[in-house]
Structure 1
Amino acid sequence: MTPLLQINDLTITCKDKLLVKNAGLCLNQGECIALTGPSGSGKTTLLKAICHILPQSFTVSGKICFLKNDINKLSLRQLNKYLGTGITMILQNPADNFDDRKNILSHFEEAMHASSLKAKEEVKRLAVDLLYKMQLAYPQNLLKRRSFELSQGMCQRVILALTLMQRPKLILADEFTCSLDIITRVQILQLLNNLHQEMGFGLIFITHNKDDARFLADRTYHLEHATLQQRILDGT
């Protein structure tokens, strides 16, 4: 089986500061990896390196192979083919994913325009179907609203729907439940787990919560002092 994502000897530095040293991991289609470690240890940096969206001040060496293609060697045009439909990233703060000047439907239209030109009515139909799948009531009305009119939990469900609109093969999630209350967090985790099993995408998510890692992940990697190591979480 060809790995969905294969990372070998990945080293990331910024202004002579070593952030990640000789990291390696392998993710197959449909698998889920939890990425843990203290704040500032480079977890978000690692995910951004996979997406190739680090600032120019960062230096990346080693291999990040997505479906056998080394992302570091792709041209910008080639890379754009992989982002969205191939790899997509959910940011830590749901509000960072939205433009408050636009309604929710506009965000779905932009997401589909990036990958394929579909008629607006078709995009709306797909958006409504996905929002129903996210267990959101009255999605036709929700599409007319703006993000600041929604709760944090609703925003996170809309983000999941937007992410899945392009049916990506790999989703990277940066502490996507950290701002939610415990009940909403459990609901979102269960929803994501169901979608992960149903749709078969690969998932790498950052978390500080061991229970979240145990619930979702097939394997857990811990990043600390620039070193990435696979870790088996205990049952306590």
Structure 2
Amino acid sequence: MAQYDQIASVGRQSTLATNKVLKNTYMLLSMTLVFSAVTALVAMAVGISPMVSMIMMFSAIGIIWFVLPRTYESSMGIVWTFVFTGLLGASLGPMLTYYLAMPSGPAIVAQALGGTAIVTFALSFYALATKKDFSFLMGFLMVGMVVIVAAIIANIFLSIPALSIAISAAVVLIMSLMILFDTSRIVNGGETNYIRATTNLYMDIYNLFIHLLSLVAALTGND
């Protein structure tokens, strides 16, 4: 009997720990998404150049590769998460300005934002409600990302519009599956650090948005 009580106690502690990671992740994710939106609006108002945008993007990549992994277990991790997401948000300034300048630009951006929100909420809810383990997707996602990177590099030289559309569609699919994968890792106890979980989900949503934006513009004949 005591053994069963001990097992039940461990199970309850594990559930509480998972729920805490989940709560902290979505709280931090919400704040970073709002912060990114603010920095994007500021970048648009200031009118930063594409070169500055690129520098911000590479700086953010440097932070997520070299700085954040060393601070995931400390309070500085939260600070660097805001720096990272703020830079990525601001780097969207020139892109958003470009799309908003199109004849139906505001509608395109609104559709991309709405689509991103719907996909994110729907897939996150599904992963949370079913508690299904999507770890089996890892191999497919890894191969998919390698193929996409190779296609992006190839299209830099080929500049084929149809390939650009195909790449955006593929990224939208892969990022949607990544949201399922990353959320299920939290739900099933595979991810125990909410800062790392936040940055993973943020990157999923960020890439989903920019490629959905490109896809919507292309399909409406505005790109």
Q: TM-score, normalised by structure 2?
A: 0.28
Relative to total residues, which structure has the larger strand share, 1 or 2?
A: 1
Q: TM-score, normalised by structure 1?
A: 0.27
